[in-house]
Structure 1
Amino acid sequence: MLKTIFNFLVLFAVFSLICFAVFLFYSKNNDLLFFTDPHHLVNTKNKTSLNIEKTTAVPEFHQNRTAMPAASGRPLEPCPDIPPNLQEVLYVEFRTNRTLEDVRQQVGPLLQQGGRYKPANCVAKQKRSPGLFRKHRPSLTTRLGESDPRYGVAIIIPFRNRYDHLSHWLHYLHPILIRQQLDYSVYVINQEGDGVFNRAKLMNIGHTEALKEYDYECFVFSDIDLVPLNDRNLYRCSDKPRHLSVAVDKFNFLLPYNNIFGGVTALSREQFLKVNGFSNTFWGWGGEDDDLYQRIVFRGMSISRPDSVIGRYKMIKHGRDLHNDRNPNNVQKLNETPQTIDRDGLNSLSYTVRKIRKDLLYTFITVDVQTTAGYGRVGGGSGMYSCVSAVVSSVHLYRVSSEQMS
């Protein structure tokens, strides 16, 4: 009897060892997937956290999201040139009363503090590839550079007292940028006080402050009142400075003039440094975008654009901002770009950071742009009245450019 029991126990032990060996073999080959539920994965290296199960409602753009891969140590593949979940033509409306809390509930589970996002299942591409969408849009003539997956995109928004617009912008842009599989952050650069507004200087500040946090290679500068109507208009950089807001509803979806370079633009870090950024001396409304275009041309570059179907935008209607009136000196300054480009820009930037607030939807940086000390002109002219002929010849260009920012 004892011998029978002993034989049974030996057989049971051998069987158990065989089962355990088989279990370990298959667990190793599948990277212990039972320990890496994608909805609870925490990446301690980048301090990211995602727990979709805690959300009460799943927004539409969650539905096609690919699960995060197991923590196998294998490097991620680059994201595809054409993101798979794009919706193309979008319905955009601004009648709905949206709050920032509404937007946090909608997209917050996918974001990190500071309006930060990166794809979980692939490495983001920050440059467009040659012939992207060409097979779908034969009229697209722009040939663009090779993909560069190394760095992220900083979205820079010059801002003051436009909180309703900010809610609309975040409501639409975060889902769009997520579907585009970008590694990005949103920076809202808020001008302190009620002095004369300086849009260009705020964008220089945004570029400088963003680089203190992350090694961004691409910078998208966007007005707060412009929302794209087609998510195939990728917020990536290319081998040329890129004008994204080509066809705005305010202008009947037509390009106001060939050299326009305002609204929403994308420049690589190399391109932005090459032109010394924006001028810091365009106080008030208009002219800074045309000056940037002239800087690009003066440095031997040209711009690229999407076609008028992909590059459509809807503008939020609003009145004129206080302390952002037309500055007649800006007209003459457009004639001085070759003389001022090397000494007016990133290398002459002066400001004071008052406060940095990390919200789930954005990084909000309040700055003193030193309006009193900085208001005026850079260049050799003696002012508007000493250059009447230059003003008359430039006024039409200035008015069209200014309308684009209203």
Structure 2
Amino acid sequence: MIKFRISSRQVYAVVGYGLLLVFLLWPDRFASRYEYIDGEEIYDQLVRKTTKNVSLMRNGIRCDYSDVIEENVYLYRRPFTEEIINNNVKLGGEWYPEDCLPSFSTAIIIPYRQREQQLGQFLMYMHNYLRRQRIHYRVFIIEQYDPKPFNRAKLFNIGALIAMKLDYPCLVLHDVDLMPQNLGNLYACSQRPRHMCSSLDVFRYNLPYRGLFGGATAIQSNQFMKINGMSNMFSGWGGEDDDFFARLKNKKIDICRFSPQYSRYTMLKHRKEKPNKDRVAFLRNGHLRYHSDGLNSLVYKEVGYRLDNLFTHVLVET
């Protein structure tokens, strides 16, 4: 029989490496580096406001959200990612619970171009996800039809104006490649604009920098109007989210985040857009255009408007 002798130094080395590995792989190891709203405080921070047609509904019983927030179920799994379960989504991608009166009405606005596979995955999962939150919501796909560089912020502006005309008090500006993982992250607006995806898997569930305000954000319509929306200047990848954050700061509007356990997202694989070579310059002089570049200067051509089974499709030329 062969005997192996392990010294105490070797034992300490193995334990040390093990602890280091746990430290490196632990998703929440940087969670305390930014302020966030704890789970028990989430509901009190939400703005209970709906569209007029929903507020006039007479079914009496208010929807209860305590179980959704407290249980914070992990939903990003089969079968919810593979098919729309019990599809009762209304034409145009709208849904509201019929057994209770929702407290929130939210427009989910998606800027889009040539991402068919991701769009299919998004719609399938998000309708499963959002209906379990018992909110009133509608999905808007704003598709850029022209061959110009993709202008994400401008598409958000277009979607916001359309949603606000339909009386939506809350806007969620959302990329098509992001999927929320936990159900307690209610798609409703908080009193302060909210960065919803602060724990993202491609960043190892860490927040790269505190000024990050993109991917998935929730903002009240009146706040979006107050800052004149987003800049229309950022064609191509990069810069528009930092400019968005700066606009909020300019109006002394602070942002918030939920606890990392509520803010976990996964990002679908995708090809990045070509970077905007002027993004740094636009950011540097952005403060000169806050009042002249945004919702009040928005120019576009609506090519098509259609109510699909799962979304409202707005086709535009920028």
The normalised TM-score by structure 1 is 0.61
Select 1:78's aligned residue among 39, 50, 62.
62
Is the aligned partner of 1:89 residue 2:74?
Answer: yes
Q: 2:145 aligns with which of 183, 192, 216?
A: 192
From 241, 251, 258, the counterpart of 1:289? 241
User: Which amino acid is 2:168 matched to?
Assistant: Y
Quote the RMSD (CA, aligned, Å): 2.2
Indicate yes or no: 2:240 matched with 1:256.
no
The answer on whether the counterparts of 1:157 and 1:223 sit within 8 Å (CA) in structure 2 is: yes
1:78-227 alignment, distance < 5 Å: 78-84=62-68, 88-92=73-77, 103=84, 106-108=85-87, 110-126=88-104, 152-212=105-165, 214-227=166-179
Aligned partners of 2:59 and 2:99 also within 8 Å: no
Q: Deviations over 1:328-369 (max 9, x none)?
A: 211111122321100000000010110112111001110001
CA distance in 2, matches of 1:305, 1:207: 21
| Counterpart Cα distance in 2 of 1:346 and 1:156 | 15
Secondary structure of the structure 2 residue equivalent to 1:168: helix
Cα offset, 1:91, TM superposition: 3.2
**TM-score, normalization: structure 2?**
0.78
- Alpha-carbon distance in structure 2 between the residues aligned to 1:335 and 1:199: 19
The separation in 1 between residues aligned to 2:58 and 2:185, in whole angstroms, is: 31
1:4-403 maps to which residues of 2 (within 5 A)?
Answer: 75-84=59-68, 88-92=73-77, 103=84, 106-108=85-87, 110-126=88-104, 152-212=105-165, 214-320=166-272, 324-369=273-318
Gapped runs of 5+ residues in structure 2? 1-52
Contact map agreement 2:72 2:262 (CA 8 A) in 1: no
Of 341-350 and 170-179, deviating more is: 170-179
CA contact (8 A) 1:285 1:327 kept: yes
CA offset at residue 304 of structure 1?
0.6
Distance (Å, rounded) in 2 between the aligned partners of 1:92 and 1:298: 40
Q: Which amino acid aligns with 2:76?
A: Y
Moved over 3 A (4+): 83-87, 91-94
> What is the match of residue 30 of structure 2?
none
In 2, Cα distance between equivalents of 1:266 and 1:84: 18
Pick 1 or 2: higher relative contact order, CA cutoff 8 A, min separation 6.
2
Q: Is contact 1:92-1:314 (8 Å) kept?
A: no
Distance 2:276 2:59 in 1: 53
User: 2: CA distance between counterparts of 1:340 and 1:84?
Assistant: 41
Once the two structures are TM-superposed, the CA of residue 267 in structure 1 deviates from its matched residue by 0.3
- Unpaired runs of 5+ in structure 1? 1-45, 48-72, 127-151, 370-406
What is the rounded CA distance, in whole Å, between the counterparts of 2:190 and 2:117 in structure 1? 32
1:255 partner SS: coil
- Farther-moved stretch of structure 1 (203-212 vs 345-354): 203-212
Q: CA deviation at 1:112?
A: 0.9
Alpha-carbon separation, structure 2, partners of 1:193 and 1:331 = 25
- How many residue pairs are counted as aligned between the two chains? 263
Contact 1:83/1:179 (CA < 8 Å) preserved in 2?
Answer: no
Kept in 1: contact 2:109–2:139 (CA 8 A) = yes
Greater radius of gyration (CA): 1
Question: Equivalents in 2 of 1:219, 1:231: separation in Å?
Answer: 18
**Residue 334 to residue 229, structure 1, CA distance change in 2 (3 Å):** same
Q: How big is the shift at 1:92?
A: 4.0
Cα displacement (A) at 1:210: 2.0
